[in-house]
Amino acid sequence: MLSGKVALVTGASRGIGREIAITLAGYGANVIVNYNGSAQAAQEVVDTILANGGQAKAVQASVAKDEDCKRLIEDALASYGKIDILVNNAGITKDNLMMKITEEDYDAVMDTNVKGTFMTIKHMYRAFLKQRGGRIINMSSVTGLSGNAGQTNYAASKAAIVGLTKSVAKELAARNVTCNAIAPGFIATEMTEKMSDAAKEAVLSQIPMKKVGSVKDIAETVAFLASDKAAYITGQVISVDGGLHM
């Protein structure tokens, strides 16, 4: 489905990003596995892809830094000549009640989640124009659509990605470049595994499907949006949340 395509996945060393990288490679894409500090974990993703007959390499860059975003894109274009699929998955949380969130915590979340998404697209913009084609998939969140107590900074960052996605979609649509966002709900990851049973049950009670999602659910949605099957879909936010946000 993605044979001959080059995909860059940010924050791909663990969790949802890891599964996205492995899934895209499984469909034939040559994957650039971006990571910030987890070199060993990123290499394990690459090794998994190579062991399954795919192609991948790990590249370090902090998307919170503009110069790193610029280097990440330039190195990828120099190595492969193109990037067909850009998946902006890197993200962090600094959760707390709003009155307790520091300026540093607010800025850290915004820099990684919003500025990182903005800057990777910005530095890829001219290449997409020249290619006259491409797929941009940004990771929002159900929290960005409905809000969540204790996550005001995170919710604001994920809501910002929705507006960014729609604006980029309008700018690049005429060049056959689509830009969509995915809003995951309650997905089973290392982070959710640390939650108490009571906290998990409280969330499950709000999900119409009465079950958590998997990282594979998100990765397969990314693969669909990256494929030719989604060529006429742009500017959309796809909720993958078992009906949590309707």
| Annotated domain spans of the chain | 6-240
Q: Is it the case that residue 190 has pLDDT exceeding 90?
A: no
| pLDDT reported for residue 158 | 98
Q: Residue 16 is encoded by which pair of tokens?
A: 């949802």
Amino acid identity for residue 189 in this structure = T
Report whether pLDDT(18) > 90: yes
Res 143 pLDDT > 80: yes
Catalytic residues: 154
CA 80 remoteness from chain centre:
21
> What separation in angstroms does the CA of 111 have from each of 66, 150, 160, 183, 195?
9, 19, 12, 19, 26
Percent of the chain with pLDDT over 70: 99
Average pLDDT over residues 148-177: 97
Residue 178 has pLDDT above 80, yes or no: yes
Which residues have a Cβ under 8 Å from the Cβ of 3 and sit 6 or more positions away? 27, 28, 29
pLDDT at 196 > cutoff 80? no
> Can you say how many angstroms the Cα of residue 44 is from the centroid of all Cα atoms in its chain?
19
Q: Per-residue confidence at 202, pLDDT binned at 50, 70, 90?
A: confident
Q: Three-state DSSP class for 7?
A: strand
Count CA within 13 A, CB hemisphere, residue 1. 18
> Distances from the Cα of 187 to the Cαs of 70, 89, 143, 200, 213, in angstroms?
31, 14, 12, 11, 4
- The arithmetic mean of pLDDT across residues 69-79, rounded, is 96
Q: What is the mean pLDDT of residues 67-79?
A: 96
What Å distances lie between residue 104 and 88, 108, 111, 240, CA to CA?
Answer: 22, 6, 10, 31
Could you confirm whether domain 6-240 is CATH 3.40.50.720? yes
